[in-house]
Amino acid sequence: MDDELNALRRTRMRWNTPLSEAHAELLLDRMDLGAGHLADLGCGWGELLLRAVGRTPGLRGTGVDTDEVSLARGRAAARERGLESRVEWAEADAATWDGVAERVFCIGAAHAFGSTKAALEGLARVVPAGGRLLYGDGFWAAPPSEAAKEIFGPDMLTLPGLLDVAGAAGWRVLHLSAADQLEWDDFESTSRAGWEGWLRDHPADPRAADVREWLDRRLREYVRDYRGVLGLTYLVLGR
């Protein structure tokens, strides 16, 4: 797909993860935010980062991502909310960012490090002793089919396995929660909504067939292969 359509696909999404407003507020509470530095590694357009900075006096933020379209959306949102002086944006790979921050978000970005194990070990070098990490990652909530394993790869862990890896990397679990079914259904629906709207308005566009095929395949895979099978956990981790 071209850049125009790629940018359009996520426009109906609040953030690129299955997370409700209430759940997000709970996670921000558990992060014990205060004055200091918060880095969001693999931030996308940084909606959770902006909310954290907006509600916390004295907190400054850094959003790190390789997607320049998402970063542009984040910069625009920061300007609209009067946060441009407190949030900076870096077009960089989450795994290669060489900063340090007292509070860090890394949600759905383990792939940038290569694996869950590599992510949790790498993030231990970013968060100093006494800091906190909000880490979001997928896990098998039920035994996966071969089709599900093909979609998400062979390295997906169970939740107990993920917690074992976190402990081995030196992390303590301060909070654990997981996306519920409504959060997942809303996430999947909003991930398709931008293109569904475009397809309705542009049925004769030469790109319409490819968009329709992607939308149909995504819905089919979700309902048949990984709904209720793939979980997403949010861990607040300390060192």
Sequence-ordered list of residues with C-beta below 8 angstroms from that of 218, at least 6 positions apart, any chain: 188, 191, 192
Yes or no: say if 235 and 223 are a contact pair by the CB < 8 Å rule: no
Question: What's the pTM?
Answer: 0.95
pLDDT of residue 21: 98
Q: At which residue do the structure tokens 């920061």 appear?
A: 78
Pick out the chain residues at pLDDT < 50: none
Yes or no: say if 9 and 195 are a contact pair by the CB < 8 Å rule: yes
pLDDT, one tens digit per residue, over 172-228 is: 999 999 999 999 999 999 999 999 999 999 999 999 999 999 999 999 999 999 999
pLDDT of residue 205: 96
Specify burial of residue 224 (Cβ count, 10 A radius: 0-12, 13-18, 19+).
Answer: exposed
Domain boundaries, the chain: 11-179+230-238
Q: Beta strands of the chain (E only): which ranges? A: 36-41, 59-65, 87-91, 103-107, 132-140, 172-178, 230-238
DSSP-derived secondary structure letter, 213: H
pLDDT of residue 2: 75
Tell which CATH architecture fits domain 11-179+230-238: 3-Layer(aba) Sandwich (3.40)
**Tokens at residue 145, please?**
């089919």
DSSP-derived secondary structure letter, 158: B
